[in-house]
Structure 1
Amino acid sequence: IDHSAPKITDVRAEVWLNGNHYTTAILWHTDDVTYGDVYYRRVMGLAPFAPLNTGFTGDKQLLFLSSSVPSGQYEYYVQSRNVAGLETIDDNNGSYYRAEVTNATITPNGFHSISVDLPAMHIATANADFDQDGQLEIVGMETGGAGYAPVKIYERNDSSPFNKGGRGDLGNYELVFTSQDRYFPWGVGDTDGDGLLEILGNDEERTFLVECRPGKLYPSNKIWQMEGIWGGQIVDLDHDGKPEIISRYDETNAIAIYTAIEDNSYQNVALLENPTKGFNDLGTAFAIADFDGDGRTEIMAGDEDADLFIYEHIGGYRFRQTWQGQLAPIAEAKSAYYLDANDLDGDGKAEFIVGGKIEDSEFGFARRRWIYEIFKTDGDDSYRPVWRREIMFIRPGGNGVTSGDVDGDGQNETVISAWPNLYVFKYDGKTYAPIWHHNVSSNIPLIADTDGNGFGELFFNEAERFAIYEWDTATALFKPWSLVAIPLGESSVYLGWESFADVETLSYNIYRGTDEKQLKVITQDVSRTEFIDRGLTKGVTYWYAVSAVTSTGVETKLSSKAYAKPDTPPRLIAAEYFSPNRVILKFDKPMGSSAQDSVQYFVREKGTNIEQKPSSALLDKSDKRVILAFDEGILLPGRDYDVVALNIRDTDRILISAKYSSQSITVPIEETPTIPTDLSKAIVYPNPIRPNEHHTGKVIFANLPNDTFISIYSITGALIEQLKVEDADRGKKEWHILNNAASEVASGIYIYVLEANGQRKSGKLALIK
C-alpha cells in the first residue's frame, strides 16, 4: 500500500454536448488509484460547498454537475482519497476552480426537409453529371446490409411536373444506374483530363477508378486499380487542372499520391511517410488546403493514437514535412481520423478541423465521447488549436465532419455527425457555436449546392432513409423549441419553451387539447417564454404546442408538442438509517430520474441550521425507493436528523409535495460495524440500472460475508462475470456492468447468484442504457 497522499493534476471543467443540450464535466488526474469528490457552490456564494461523489475508483476522475443545477458560474474544489485512506484536496491554492453551467438547448430550427424518397446510403457526391445533360446526380452506396453493395446513381429530374422551373425544394430524383460490382464510392472527378468522370472506389482487395465505356452514359469500366492502398480523395494538388488521387498506403501507413501520366494510365508520384511515433495507422480522410497562407498546398493527416502531421507541396511532386502536433493531449484522445479543411472564420485562410475518440473504459458508457478541435495558423508552418468541443456517447458508424456555406451568408459552417446527433457550428466572431441540432442515422454528411441558389444543402441519413435539408426562411427560425409541460399538482400545468433571446418583438400563442391531433388556441399575445395553465382536471392528459407571432403579425408553425397529466404530488413516506452512512427513502409513487440527483437532498441535524448533502442517490425497488450515501462524519451516532427532498419529481414529472418532503431519522449508537456472517441482510442496488450523468452505471452488492461469490448470468444462462468479496471490501462489492473480458454488457435482464457459507440467494437485475 502506498502510504503517501495522492497527487492531483489537470483539474478542469468542460462543457460537453449531450444531444440537444449541454453537460458540465469536471475532470482531474491522480498519480494513484483514488476515490474522487467534488465540492461546489455559486461563485462567491455564502452557502456551504455541496458534495458530489464520482462513484468509482481510478487515476482519472470525472463527474457531471447535475442538469438540475441552475445556469451560472460555479466555484469548486476536488478531493481524492487512496486505498490507504490518505486524502488530498486541490482548491486552486484557495482561489477555487471555476465551472460554467448552461441549461440552454440547441435550436432544431434553421433547416427544412426537402421531400425525397431515396434509401439510406453513403453518398460520394450530389453534383455529378455523368451523362452531361445538365441534370445533377447523386452517387452513393446503400447502407444497412452486410458488406459492400452496388453503387447507384440517382438523377435529379427538374423536368418533372412536380418540379417546374428547376426548383430544388421538391428533391425529385430517379434511379438511372446500378453497378454490377459491389464497392464503396469515395469520390467523383476527372483525374485524367479526358472529359469523362470517374468514381474512386474500393472493394475488399483494391482501390480503383471506374469510368464510362465508349458510348455508355454511366461508369462501368475499371481504368485503373491498385492493391495495398485504401480509400482516398480526389484533389488538384498542383493546380494544373487534373486532380490527383490521395490515398492511404497500408504497408507503411503513408500518404500515397497518384497522378495520370496519360489517358487511363497512372503513376505513384509521392509516398509521404508518417513521421510520428507510436501507433501510426492512418485514417482514410485528409485535410488539404493552404493553411498558412504562403501559396503552397498542405496535406494534413491524423493517425490511430491522435498524432497529426503536415506535408507541404513545394513544387512538382515534391513535398516536405513541416509540422507535427496532437489532438487534445490533455484529454488523451485515442484517434484522429475525422478531418476537414476550409476557411471557417472568414479571414481568408483555411483552418483544419480534427475529430477523434476518447475511450477510457473505466469511465463507462456515458463518459466515452467524441472530441473535435479546430487548428489555425499562427505563423509560417505553425498551427495551434483555437476551439475544442466534446460530444458525449460514442457509437460506431456514420460519424464524420464536413464544411461549407449552408446559410447563404458567404461564410462556411462546420457540420459534425456524431451519430445519432448532427450539429451545425458557426463562427460568431468569438467562438464556434452550435446553431442547429438534428437526429441522424448512419452516414457521413455532405454539403452540395444542387439547386443553384448559392449555398449548400445538407445530405445525410435519418430514420434509415436518405434526407436532404436546406436553410430556412427567417420566420421559420422564430418557431419556439424545447417546449416542456410540467404538472403543478392536481389542476395546473407549467409551460416553458425556448426562443431567440435577441428578438424582443415576438409574442406567443398557446394551443391545448386532450387529443394530440386536435389542439386549439387557449390564449394569445403571451409576452414571456413561459405560461401557467390553470383550472384543469385531475388525471386528464393535456397536449400543448406554442407558436410565435412576429411584429408584422406573421405566425410561425407550431412547436413540437408536449403533454402533462395533473395529479396528486408524490410524498416521501418513510426514511431509515442504514449502516454505514446510508439513508433509505421510501415514496408513495414511482419517482423519475430527478430522484437520482444527489443535489436535491440534504440532512440537517435537529436544532441546527447546517445542511449536509449526500454524495450519491440511487433509485431502487421499482423506483419507489432511493438510497442516499453520505461521507463519513456527517451522520453521527446518537443524533437526530431531518432528511429533506427538494426538487424531485415522479414519473409524471409532478414535483414532490412540500408538505410531505421530509422525514426524521435517528442514527443508532453502534459498536464497530461487524461483517455479516450470512446473506439474510444482503441488498443489491440500484435496480434497474440506468447509466447516465447522475450515476456511473454500477451495481452495489452490500451486507455480504467475506468470501461471498457473486455470479452474474445472462437471461439465457451464460456466465457474464464472477466476483469475490475479499476482506478489504468490508462486506461490499461493485459490479461495473462489464463482462469477464472487461467489455460493457448490453441492456437486458441479468441473473445474480450470491453464495456464502452454504447459503444461496438469487435475483434479477434490469440494465437500461
Structure 2
Amino acid sequence: MTEKAVQVTWNAQQDDETDAELSKLTRPFTVYRAEGEKEEAPAEDAFEKIRDNLTVTRFLDRQVTTNNTYWYAITTKDTNGTETPRTETVAATPREPPQLIRAAYHQLAGEMQTAQLEFQADAPNGVSGKRAISENVWVIVTFDRRMNLGIADESRYVLRKVKRIDGINPVSAIRDRMGRRALLAFDTERLLQHFGQPLTTTDQYEISVSNVADIDENAIRGATRPLEIPSSIREAAVSDLTQARVYPNPVRPNVADKGVITFDRIPIGTRIQLFTAKGELLETLDVTEQDHNEKKWWLTSNNTADVSTGIYIYVLEFDTQKKIGKIAVIK
C-alpha cells in the first residue's frame, strides 16, 4: 500500500477435480469495493464492482484518494457459472509516508524524572530510559504520527554535518509512550573523535532516519531534518574548566593544512600554556571576551616557528582551577 495505490491479494481455493492452472482460467475473480470508516465495514449494498474476469489472485487499485478508507471483497464463480458469495471484507487506508518533522538537541537538567517516565516504557533490548538519559548528549526526534517499534532501533539514525556523507549512530534509541518521538543518546567522546569538536559550535548538523514505519506500516525510506541547537546552549556562559575540550587530538598537519588545535568551552580569563615534553615553554595564550570561549593554537612556538612531530603538554589555569593534558602532533 502506498499513498497512490492499494494492492489487494487473496488465496484461491483449487477444485480437486480440475487442474490448478485451468481452474484459475475458468473461474475468474471479481473485485468489489466500498468506501467507509476504518472501524466498521460498510453495508452490503455499498459495494460496487470495480474489476471482473481476473485470472490472477491480485489486483492493484490505483483509483484511490489519500486518507480515505476502502473496503474490498472478492467473488468467483462455481462450476455452474454462478457467482459465489463475497469473501470477508478487508480494509486499507492509503496514506502519505510519515514525516520526520523535528530533530532537537535536548538538555534534560531539571526534567530527568519526567523524561525517564515518558521514554522508559518502550526501551528496547533491556536498555533502560535511565541509561540513555545519562549519556552526555541527547537528541529528541519527532514524527508527524504514531510510529511502530522500529524507531527504537538506533541503527536507523545517523547524525552528520550538513552536506557530509559520513556520520555517527546513536548508542541507544528509545520510543516514547505515544510513539511519536524517540530519544537518541550519543556518547560525547565518540562525537569528539568523529567530528573533532563538540556539537555546540557554529557548525550545522542534521539527523537522518531510514527504514522506519508508522503503526499502519506506511514507511519512511529516508528523511533528514536539521539538528536544532538552542542559542542558549551555543552561547551558554562558561564559568569553569569542567566542559573544556581540546580538538582535534591527535592533529595531523600537512602541506595543504598546517593544522590547528582548538581549546573550546574555555572561561574568559583562562591562561593556556603550551610546553614540550621536556617542560620547555612554547607559547602562552590568554582567553578574552573577543575569543567567545574558544582559543586556537596554530602549532607554533612563540607565534613563529612551527612545532615538529611529538607530544606536547597544555596547562589551563582559571581562577583556582588547573587542567593539564597532552596533545599529539603527527606529521
- TM-score, length of structure 1 as denominator length: 0.20
Indicate the structure with greater helix content. 2
- TM-score, length of structure 2 as denominator length: 0.40
Greater RCO structure (CA 8 Å; 6+ sep): 2
Indicate the structure with greater strand content. 1
